[in-house]
Structure 1
Amino acid sequence: MADQAQIPGGLDVTRPNVARMYDYYLGGKNHFPADRAAAERVIEISQGHVREAVRENRAFLGRAVRFLVRERGIRVFLDLGAGLPTQGNVHEIAFDEAPDARVRYVDNDPVVAAHGRALLAGDPRVEFLEADLRRPEEVLGAFAFDGPVGVLMVSCLHFVPDEEDPAGIVARYAAALPAGSHFVISHVCSDALTDIMAQTGGVYGNANAPFEARPRAAIERFFGGLELVEPGLVQLHEWRPEPDSLPLRADIMAVLGGVARRP
């Protein structure tokens, strides 16, 4: 559990932070009282199902990375809004499949950046950039890409409000990257749980980034101009599940995920 001795200078820990809240949902240790209080409120609103959702989100990420390495030959990954290091990091999954893979992490949170650099120090296959995914030109200008890229936008676009044009941000990355690049996107869907999503948005309204669950039709627009891989945009647990996958506890998985290729 994070304590005052671990607080970087000038960091405001009195305001909930979405990366640290996510870490709390996953059972991590990098969070402060404000993060825990906000996360517990979301757990209460969701009747505990947010924990299952974040676990399924990590499992979806792992399956997608393995698919891209094994079946699409991707060897370079760009993880946008990477969040705090946790079990099953992208580089660990990718390197298990292909030791020659390379991973570029991006996050605009200074605590995330500090933890990421400490974790990844000494491995030339991995880099961490403290930058904002909402500025594609800045992010892409920091790295050299000489072939198709696996772009991971996993549970980050619902923290980008409509006025900042999240679909346009995805399109700018797609336009700048080589043909054959793939995009992995997961996003909270509001269709079946409108009231719960509105209450959750209220909690995140006090955090460092707003939360905006979107209807399926809006999430589909993120894949505009891209070729969706089967089975398309589906509930996370339905995307190429492992044979031994456990059934959901909840009646519905309110997070959709999909993988698409840039033609």
Structure 2
Amino acid sequence: MTEQAPGGLDVTRPNVARMYDYYLGGKNHFPPDRAAAERIIELSRGHVREAVRENRAFLGRAVRYLAAECGIRGFLDLGAGLPTQGNVHEIALEEAPDAFVTYVDNDAVVAAHGRALLEGDPRVRFLQGDLRRPEEIVTAASATGLDLDRPVAVLLVSCLHFVPDEEGPESVVAAYRDLLPPGSHVVISHVCSDLVPEEMARAGDVYGNANAPFEARPGAQIARFFDGFDLVEPGLVPLNEWRPGDGALPPRGGFLPVLGGVARRP
């Protein structure tokens, strides 16, 4: 029998959102989350923490680029996870006070936590929903205030590697593409297995005990998520190479096995 805390919070099984929070140095995690995260840290020789920091930095640069340079005012952040520092709405609203951000996560506790933290700001919403159901998500987001008469940005940052091949992640991305107006953008980051396939397979075994599977993919497969979009410069690259700021340092391990890109729907 699964032990649950008040409100239906399962504290006995590792949760990918809470593991991510642990990597970032947050406080929203429990012993099983920490144990699984420490195993991933061991397998990666500590580089997973660098990867998640680079992921947050990439997200921030992408949002800033879209708001400041592309005129995007609507942001749909899928698989958003627990609110942490450098959230999408903080960055978007800094660049464009008229921006509107809708967060989506399938975890009821994460969604409730997000709504509580964001309560009172009419420019931000947090929905519970499954990113694998694009029509439902887009309809619900539109009902909360996301303006689909103008180009928007869909953020699929560090979440597609938790959607297994048999659930059709490429079709999911294509469905979002077809539901959005021309000029919309997609932002994707995804763990890549090309350089460290054995380590990624072992990481998948650890996540097999968590609330979502983990599936690192070859770069060629990740590139297919952008079919039907026009990649903006510099294309699909390691996260630290996507429009880095001045003084950016190379990864400690010599490479970063996470790819990211931003693309526009024609």
The TM-score normalised by the length of structure 1 is 0.97
Q: Return the alpha-carbon distance in structure 1 between the equivalents of residues 161 and 186 of structure 2.
A: 16
- Of 104-113 and 55-64, deviating more is 104-113
Q: Residue type of the partner of 1:260?
A: A
1:119 Cα deviation after fit: 1.1
Match of 1:227 among 223, 226, 230: 230
Q: Return the alpha-carbon distance in structure 1 between the equivalents of residues 247 and 125 of structure 2.
A: 33
Q: Return the alpha-carbon distance in structure 2 between the equivalents of residues 146 and 178 of structure 1.
A: 7
Structure 2: runs of 5 or more not aligned: 143-147
Q: Residue type of the partner of 1:80?
A: L
Q: Return the alpha-carbon distance in structure 2 between the equivalents of residues 238 and 80 of structure 1.
A: 23
Counterpart of 1:79 in structure 2 is: 77
Q: Following superposition of structure 1 onto structure 2, how do residues 113-192 of structure 1 map, counting pairs within 5 Å?
A: 113-144=111-142, 145-192=148-195
Q: Return the alpha-carbon distance in structure 1 between the equivalents of residues 88 and 259 of structure 2.
A: 19
Match of 1:99 among 93, 97, 100: 97
1:197 Cα deviation after fit: 0.1
Counterpart of 1:255 in structure 2 is: 258
- Of 199-208 and 140-149, deviating more is 140-149
Q: Return the alpha-carbon distance in structure 2 between the equivalents of residues 34 and 110 of structure 1.
A: 19
Q: Residue type of the partner of 2:154?
A: V
Q: Residue type of the partner of 1:225?
A: G
Write the deviation string for residues 90-118 of structure 1: whole angstroms up to 9, x where unpaired: 00000110111000000001121121001
Match of 1:35 among 33, 36, 39: 33
1:251 Cα deviation after fit: 1.5
Match of 2:57 among 56, 59, 63: 59
Q: Residue type of the partner of 2:74?
A: V
Q: Return the alpha-carbon distance in structure 1 between the equivalents of residues 167 and 207 of structure 2.
A: 17
Counterpart of 1:204 in structure 2 is: 207
Match of 1:45 among 43, 46, 57: 43
Q: Residue type of the partner of 2:190?
A: H
Q: Return the alpha-carbon distance in structure 2 between the equivalents of residues 19 and 187 of structure 1.
A: 15
Report how many aligned residue pairs link the two structures.
Answer: 259
- Of 142-151 and 35-44, deviating more is 142-151
1:64 Cα deviation after fit: 0.1
Structure 1: runs of 5 or more not aligned: none
Calculate percent identity across the aligned residue pairs.
75
Q: Return the alpha-carbon distance in structure 2 between the equivalents of residues 260 and 7 of structure 1.
A: 41
Instruction: Look up the SS of the partner of 2:34 in the other structure.
Output: helix
Q: Residue type of the partner of 2:136?
A: E
